[in-house]
Each structure stands twice: as C-alpha cells, then as structure tokens.
Chain A
Amino acid sequence: MKHSVNRPPTPDAAEDQGKEPTLQEIINIKLIESGEKERLMELLRERLIDCGWKDEMKALCRAHVKKKGRTNVTVDDLVHLITPKGRASVPDSVKAELLQRIRTFLMSAAL
C-alpha cells in the first residue's frame, strides 16, 4: 500500500478548522481598516529618510550591485543584505516615536 493513502486529509479553509484568528491578526486587520497602518508607514518612511537611514541602505545596495555586477543582482539579495543592518541602524528616537504611536493605537483599540 502506498504511504500516500495514509496522509492526513487536505485541510479546508482556515475558518472551518476552528482556528481562531490570533490577536496579531485581529490587530493587523484593525490597523489596516482604520488606515492607521498606512499613516504609520508614511511616518516611519519620512523619519527614516530624514535621518539618512534610507541613503545608507541605498549606498549598501549600490556597493553590492557594483561588486556583483548589475545583471546578477536580485531583489532577494538586496533584502537579505539590508535587513540585518537596516533593523539595527534605526535611530532610537525614531523607534521610540513609532512605538509610542502604536501603543496609543493599541490602547484606543480597546484591547
């Protein structure tokens, strides 16, 4: 008998399985629906440009492209290149400001 006969049944759509949406998912939906996520993204983008973070990341990308050659570079490469440095180099003030806004939102969303 083939092992494949014993495989578990194909899962149905997530709701039918009785999986409750996680708190995170609920919050995410609230963020998006209220438009707050968009506002937060714009705020973060603006702050990161102002403090030069975006330029630093672009410089890293350019250096990488120069090394590897234009034709060999993929978006994935660049994402993996930037992510650790990008996360580490966000200025504390920017991070604090965003966290504050997010916390305010969470509290107002009455959780």
Chain B
Amino acid sequence: MSGPNEDNNTQLSSHIFGDLLDSIIVDVASECHRIAKLGLDRNLEEEEEEMRLSAQARARVADPSNSSETNTKYVVDIFGQTHPSVATEIFECMNCGRSIAAGRFAPHLEKCMGKGRKARLKVTRSSTAAQNRYSRGSPVSTYSPYSNSTSTNRLSNGTPSVAGEEYSNGTYEEPWNKT
C-alpha cells in the first residue's frame, strides 16, 4: 500500500464508519419491515381508511349529478345526518328574556338591541336602568370625595396599604397624603 500513513488511516476510518452505518441501516430497515408485517403500526391502517373515505367523498362532491337535483335542505353531512336549514334549538335572549329559535337569533338581536326603529326607543329606557343598577350595587359611591368615604380605604393611622385600592374610584388619593 502506497501513501503516507495518515491517508491510510483516514481512508480506513471512513471505510469502517461506512460499515458501521450500513449495519445500522440494515437494523432500522429490518425493524420497520417487522413493524409493517406484524401490523404494529396502527396509524397506518387508520390513515389508509381515511384516505379511502376522503377520496370517496371527493368523488361524490365532484360528481355533477349530485349537486343540483338534491334539495339543499336534505344534504347529508359526513356523519350521515341531515340538518334543517334553519337551526331549531331554542335559547333565551339575554336582553329581553324571550325564547328565540337559534336560527332566528341574529335577526331578533338586531331588533332587540339596536338596529330597528322600535329598538332605539327601548334603548333609552334600558340605559338608565343599567346606570341605576351599577350605582346602587357598588360598595364605594361614585362621586363622593375621599374624606367623606366610610369605606375601608381610610387608613388614618398611617399604615400604607396597597391591597384593595385598585377597586376604588378615580378620586382616590394615597392614604399617607391625608395625614
């Protein structure tokens, strides 16, 4: 063998590395082959089935004879169910409290909440009702100056406290400024 020892070594090393890699490749191939033959790869089966079904569905959709003649009301979905074109579940409107069918809900809300002429009249009534609701219920009255407040915000002993202060109104002042 000619050539310096270094070259030889490098070549030899590469060759040995190649051998190792080939052995590992054969191992991996053998393992995959085993899994395939024993059917251990469960996803494989499911995917095949799904691909078949999706191909079927696609064929059905692409088929021109299907689309125009079937009544759109009776189109079958992927689970084989048919739905009426107007949804029939019944809900209670949170604004007026009436029972409304789901399919009629959007138009109902339009009338009930804002768009229509009749709804505008309703709005003025309900907004004052909302204001009354808010001011009565809160623990800190909206416009009273800080010194008159009897709430727990008053800390004249000077201990600064941060907890709970976030909830008070805009006229709040730092407690330690009030000594």
Contacts and interface: CB of A to CB of B under 8 A. Distances in A.
Interface of A: 23-24, 27-28, 31, 37, 40-41, 44-45, 48, 54, 57-58, 61-62, 65-66, 70-71, 73-75, 78-79, 81-83, 86-87, 90, 95, 98-99, 102-103, 106-107, 111
Contacts of B10: 103
Contact of B24 (A28, A41, A78): A41
B32 interface: yes
Interface string B1-44: 10001000110111111101111111111111100110101001
B28 A58 contact: yes
A58 B16 contact: no
Pairs A-B, 5 closest by C-beta atoms = A61-B32, A78-B29, A102-B13, A65-B36, A79-B29
Contact of A58 (B15, B22, B32): B32
Contacts of A103: 9-10, 13
Contacts of B14: 99
A54 to B, nearest CB: 6
A78 B21 CA distance: 15
Given A75-B30, A82-B25, A106 B39 contact: no
Interface of B: 1, 5, 9-10, 12-18, 20-33, 36-37, 39, 41, 44, 47-48
B33 A73 contact: yes
Given A44-B20, A61-B36, A86 B12 contact: no
Given A57-B28, A73-B36, A99 B1 contact: no
Contact of A90 (B15, B21, B41, B44): B21
A75 B20 contact: no
Contact of B17 (A62, A66, A99): A99
A75 to B, nearest CB: 5
A78 B20 contact: no
B9 A24 contact: no
Contacts of B20: 37, 40-41, 44, 98
B16 A102 contact: yes
Contact of A82 (B16, B28, B39, B41): B28
A66 B9 CA distance: 43
Nearest to A85: B25
Given A24-B12, A61-B29, A106-B9, A86 B21 contact: yes
B36 A87 contact: no
Contacts of A75: 26, 29-30, 33
